[in-house]
Amino acid sequence: MAKKAAKKKYSFINELYEGVLNITEVSKNGAIKLKRTDLKDLVESAFTKGAKLAAGGERVRFPVIGAIVRRDVKARKAGKGTNPFTGEAVDVKARAASKKPRWSFPKTLKETFSDKKNW
């Protein structure tokens, strides 16, 4: 029996690393040249590729920033609701099922924002 090849998980760091290796040039005196526009395009393409994989259902981690994953939103039937401020009856429209992005942030980033010293 032949084993199926395991699907390689997407790594944002590896994507950037391989891209930087491809776009850098070394001059005769050993200096490394890296164009700003090439680096900008590389970062944008890495984020775009990660977003497309997340839309496909894979959890994609971006270091320091967080992780993105697809969230399935259930369908909702039409009905009646109540406005909590006025108590007035309101018609609620039906909503089809959909898929939306969901960001989750690392604990360190949450703590940075909650620390009042950083405000």
Query: What is the C-alpha to C-alpha distance for residues 110 and 50, in angstroms, rounded to an integer?
Result: 22
Domains of the chain plus CATH, in order, are 12-72+99-118 (4.10.520)
Q: Report the pLDDT value the prediction gives residue 10, as an integer from 0 to 100.
A: 86
Q: Which long-range contacts (CB under 8 A, 24 or more apart) does 102-111 make?
A: 102/68, 102/69, 102/70, 102/71, 103/66, 103/67, 103/68, 104/66, 104/67, 104/68, 104/69, 105/65, 105/66, 106/64, 106/66, 108/64, 109/64, 109/65, 109/66
Instruction: Return per-residue pLDDT of the chain as tens, 119 residues.
Output: 556 666 778 889 999 999 999 999 998 998 999 999 999 999 999 999 999 999 999 999 999 899 999 999 999 999 999 999 999 999 999 999 999 999 999 999 999 989 888 77
Q: Name the pTM for this structure.
A: 0.72
Q: Report the pLDDT value the prediction gives residue 5, as an integer from 0 to 100.
A: 61
